[in-house]
């Protein structure tokens, strides 16, 4: 599950507690917050019982290492994968990608997964057409690492995404803004299990 960047910590914590049994990780994507604020978020979440191994931080590999998180997720503009891997060898590293070329480059640099999108049109990228399932499938066939699909991923669209070869889906508003987040999370997990996958992530694109 990916945070929206617009909700207060109290709301994120409430949702995280409700959905934690059903998701693979909580992707903290709060681009407008300072490193100091993010440290407060991480400390609060961990002290409240959110497993640190289920937390993935967008950017800031130093913070991810300091709090011994499950991983760090790099924005597409961050090209120093090899250097980050060398400095923080224990961290799981993911990367946002929006093109075939970038996906292959990050895979060759040794990321643990790439997150590709936006697959469908999405409210967080207004006016930007979805890149489609064919583009997703092409990356899956060549990347050599798990590919997580993001962008407009609804429960109805999840089966087609998995059939295209994605290892999982990234969901933001579909859970974080749902009337009952735990119910929404369960529905996504059911879709994934029915289609042979159990990996479930959520940042939206970086």
Task: Say which CATH number the domain at 90 has.
Answer: 3.20.20.70
Is residue 51 in a domain?
yes
Is residue 206 in a domain?
no
Is residue 3 in a domain?
no
Tens place of pLDDT per residue across the chain (206 aa): 999 999 999 999 999 999 999 999 999 999 999 999 999 999 999 999 999 999 999 999 999 999 999 999 999 999 999 999 999 999 999 999 999 999 999 999 999 999 999 999 876 766 677 899 999 999 999 999 999 999 999 999 999 999 999 999 999 999 999 999 999 999 999 888 876 654 444 433 43
Alpha helix (H) residue ranges in the chain: 9-19, 35-47, 61-66, 81-87, 100-108, 132-143, 158-163, 173-176, 181-194
pLDDT at position 126 is 66
Please state the domain count of the chain: 1
pLDDT at position 102 is 97
pLDDT at position 198 is 47
pLDDT at position 182 is 96
User: In residues, how long is the chain?
Assistant: 206
Is residue 49 in a domain?
yes
Burial group, residue 189, by CB count within 10 angstroms (0-12, 13-18, 19+): buried
pLDDT at position 147 is 97
Is residue 1 in a domain?
no
For residue 164, say if its preceding peptide bond is cis, omega within 30 degrees of 0.
no
**Structural domain for 124, as ranges:** 9-201
pLDDT at position 193 is 80
Is residue 172 in a domain?
yes
Element at 92 (helix H, strand E): strand 92-97
């Amino acid at each position: 599950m990916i945070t929206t960047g617009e909700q207060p910590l109290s709301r994120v914590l409430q949702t995280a507690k409700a959905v934690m049994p059903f998701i693979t990780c909580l992707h903290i994507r709060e681009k407008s917050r300072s490193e100091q604020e993010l440290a407060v978020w991480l400390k609060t979440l961990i002290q409240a019982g959110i497993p640190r191994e289920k937390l993935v931080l967008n950017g800031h590999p130093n913070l991810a290492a300091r709090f011994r998180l499950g991983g760090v997720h790099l924005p597409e503009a961050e090209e120093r994968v090899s250097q980050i891997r060398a400095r923080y060898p224990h961290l799981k590293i993911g990367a946002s990608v929006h093109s075939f070329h970038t996906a292959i480059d990050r895979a060759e640099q040794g990321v643990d997964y790439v997150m590709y999108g936006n697959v469908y049109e999405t409210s967080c990228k207004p006016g930007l057409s979805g890149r489609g399932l064919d583009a997703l499938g092409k990356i899956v066939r060549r990347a050599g690492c798990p590919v997580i699909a993001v962008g407009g991923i609804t429960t109805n669209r999840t089966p087609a995404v998995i059939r295209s070869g994605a290892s999982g889906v990234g969901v933001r508003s579909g859970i974080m803004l749902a009337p009952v987040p735990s119910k929404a999370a369960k529905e996504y997990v059911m879709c994934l299990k029915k289609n042979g996958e159990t990996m479930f992530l959520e940042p939206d694109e970086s």
